[in-house]
Amino acid sequence: MGTHAQGKKSRRRGRRRLVDYPRNGRRGVRRWLPSWRQLLAMAALFVTSVAVLFICVYVSVDIPDENEAARREANVYYWSDGTQMVSTGEVNRQNVELDQIAPAAVDAVIAAENETFYEDSGVSPKGLARAVVNMARGKETQGGSTITQQYVKNTYLSQDQTVTRKVKEFVIALKVDRVKSKEEILKGYLNTSWFGRGANGIEAAAHAYYGIPAKKLDPSQGAMLAALLKGAELYDPSVGAANHERARQRWAWILDRQVDVGLMSEKERAKYRTFPEPRRQSRSTSLGGQTGYLVDVANRYVKLHTGLTDEELARGGHEIHTTFDKDAVGRLERAVRRVTDRDLDPKRRAADRHVQVGAASVRPSDGAVVALYGGPDATEHFTNNADTSGVPVGSAFKPFVLAAALQHGVVGRGRPVAEAHFDGRVSGARQNVLAGSRYAADGTLTPAGGISDPDRPTLSEALVSGGNATYVRLGKDVGAGTVRRTAVAAGLLRQSMARLEPTFSIGTSTPSAIRMAGAYGTFANDGVQRDPYSVTKVVKDGETLPGLAPPASRRALDPQVAQEVTGALRAGGKRLGLTVAAGRTGDQDRLRSAWFTGFTKDLSTAVTVFRVRPGAPRLMPMSGVGGEKSQRGNVLPPRIWQEYAGGSGPVR
């Protein structure tokens, strides 16, 4: 019996397996640890599999048709009725030969993007590996591409950041590097790269930023353009202080990098210590008049809600359906021109020079932006006055103070003004107020219906005519923080709110005309707020992009509060000869702007007038604008509003 068992055991040991795993003759953990021969075999198998897979992919992927893949399309914008507004996006690109590009600019690009360009095989294995790892981590797959790979992406492939696209880019770049010279690849890359400002290619970029051909770029200018290749949206120095600082740092690094890689001497580098500021941005003449402002607002909305970049929009092929009403836009523009042509005389009155107007109409029921006036011409005045922050809103802010008081009550009747702290908090028992209440500057409250006292105007009366002292005190006793929350809930942006100082309640905040029209629309809509929106649909390649559903509504104020504010505004409007609700900058305002916001149930329109010298950051005084009887220009916004809306009665 023992002999038989030993024989069976011996036969089992003698039987050889193809793969000795788990390992015979080992116990415990060692049984499951592969031998060095097994590890070597697995590594060889992995390398062989990858090589075979790569050969299969290499054979199966061909170089696409360059011209077909590089074709650009126009973006088409539509009015709210479905008719075409404008077609933009004609390719702003002029292909040039390599010898028509300043050598210093070429060196800057090579130093910044791919210093080994002339020696490498056209690909970066590390970049591909990093893309795969990033995908596994749920991050974007971009990064580490050579100039050849970027040229392939620009010319043959989509801009999608996927591993499939990166693998194709890698394989096609290898093939392109074999069939094209380095000079051809470099020329193609410089002619197809995106530089912002609608410029595809370095020739268009040189004109867009410096007004010169690419062959005249000096080393400093060439380094600045090379900085844009990292992302024009972040490095165009004309788009805000943050962009400017990023561009300056990148520009300096590129110049230093050229020295490090031997493309520039230290002596030459020392010549360029001052950042080469580009010229002001210009626009296509197809975007003249109000069209450019409309497209600007639509593009901002699309980018915010779909994630599209400037570069993706510039590549074209999008059908963008807007909320803009063609007739309303035309009426608003004509209204501004009629009033300014009639009431301003810049040749005779210095105070009438540099006057700017911004206006916007929003539909309260759903928040649709129906019309706007951004300035005299989008190709000449680039700032969109309808969608800019920086113009103090003045007494047009008072309705939000009144709404906060009606909604939340006041604290500290009769309390000395010095005890009111503007940290946004007030404590103590709250007392209800009404629009008809008389609220003196010392905090004394007289209920609605009390004895008339010219020294104690009702909150409704103080809303339109004077009353700044009353509303300063009211804002303190409501609580500046409560007032701010009420204004934001109604539709103003938190970032446009001013500091919580004593004058906060009389309009030191700087909302845009679009946001003011939308927030007043909350009053017209019985306290239901909807964010303004300007695009209803974007279609690309037959598919509708997600993220553009109309904004949801939310309750911002109690219905009776919104109705009482509306009644107070309507009473003030009648005093101005208008029969609709309105808010305006008061006679006592000392801010450098004038506002008027009027609304009906169907439309809310905000108009602002201010003065600013081109290139100057600060607003100019409004004293004398429109003549001696213009109340520092305060009569102009309601006149524009009435001209546009057709309100009955004169605005004096």
pLDDT for residue 145: 82
pLDDT for residue 133: 60
Q: How far from chain centre, in Å, is Cα 617?
A: 20
Averaged confidence pLDDT in the chain? 82
Tokens of 474: 């009211």
Q: Are 519 and 400 in contact (CB under 8 A)?
A: yes
- Total Cβ atoms within 10 A of residue 245: 12
Tokens 């290898």 correspond to 174
pLDDT for residue 465: 72
Residue 166 pLDDT grade (very low, low, confident, very high; cuts 50, 70, 90): low
Q: Are 21 and 30 in contact (CB under 8 A)?
A: no
Rounded to two decimals, what is the model's pTM?
0.69
User: What DSSP designation does 332 have?
Assistant: H
Residue 49 pLDDT grade (very low, low, confident, very high; cuts 50, 70, 90): low
Q: Are 606 and 564 in contact (CB under 8 A)?
A: no
Residue extents of the structural domains in the chain: 91-269, 394-538+553-606
Q: Are 421 and 409 in contact (CB under 8 A)?
A: no
Burial profile 295-326: b = 16 or more Cβ within 10 angstroms, e = fewer: bbbbbebbeebbebebbbbbbbbbbbbbbbbe
Q: Is the pLDDT of residue 37 over 90?
A: no
Q: Is the pLDDT of residue 143 over 80?
A: no
Tokens of 12: 């089992």
Between CA 377 and CA 283 the distance in angstroms is 10
Of 3.90.870.10, 3.40.710.10, 3.40.309.10, 3.30.1330.10, which CATH number belongs to 394-538+553-606? Answer: 3.40.710.10
The angle formed by the CA atoms of residues 623, 624 and 627, to the nearest 5 degrees, is 150
Helix, coil or strand: residue 367: coil
Between CA 324 and CA 361 the distance in angstroms is 10
Tell me which fold the domain 91-269 belongs to: Penicillin binding protein transpeptidase fold (1.10.3810)
Between CA 428 and CA 142 the distance in angstroms is 57
Instruction: Examine domains 91-269 and 394-538+553-606 and report if their fold is the same.
Output: no
- For the residues 625-645, what does the mean pLDDT come to? 86
Q: Is the pLDDT of residue 430 over 70?
A: yes
Q: Are 183 and 191 in contact (CB under 8 A)?
A: no
Beta bridge partners of 78: 84, 321
pLDDT for residue 420: 41
Q: Is the pLDDT of residue 307 over 60?
A: yes
Q: Is 565 exposed, middle or buried (0-12, 13-18, 19+ CB in 10 A)?
A: buried
Tokens of 305: 């809600």
Q: Are 475 and 459 in contact (CB under 8 A)?
A: no
Q: Are 578 and 639 in contact (CB under 8 A)?
A: no
pLDDT tens digit sequence for 533-574: 999 999 988 899 999 999 999 999 999 999 999 998 887 666
The angle formed by the CA atoms of residues 414, 562 and 426, to the nearest 5 degrees, is 30
Q: Is the pLDDT of residue 261 over 90?
A: yes
pLDDT tens digit sequence for 100-137: 999 999 999 999 999 999 988 777 766 555 655 655 55
Q: 632 versus 216: which is more confidently predicted?
A: 216
**Angle at which helices 398-408 and 513-524 cross, to 10°:** 40
pLDDT tens digit sequence for 502-539: 899 999 999 999 999 999 999 999 999 999 999 999 99
Q: Are 537 and 427 in contact (CB under 8 A)?
A: no
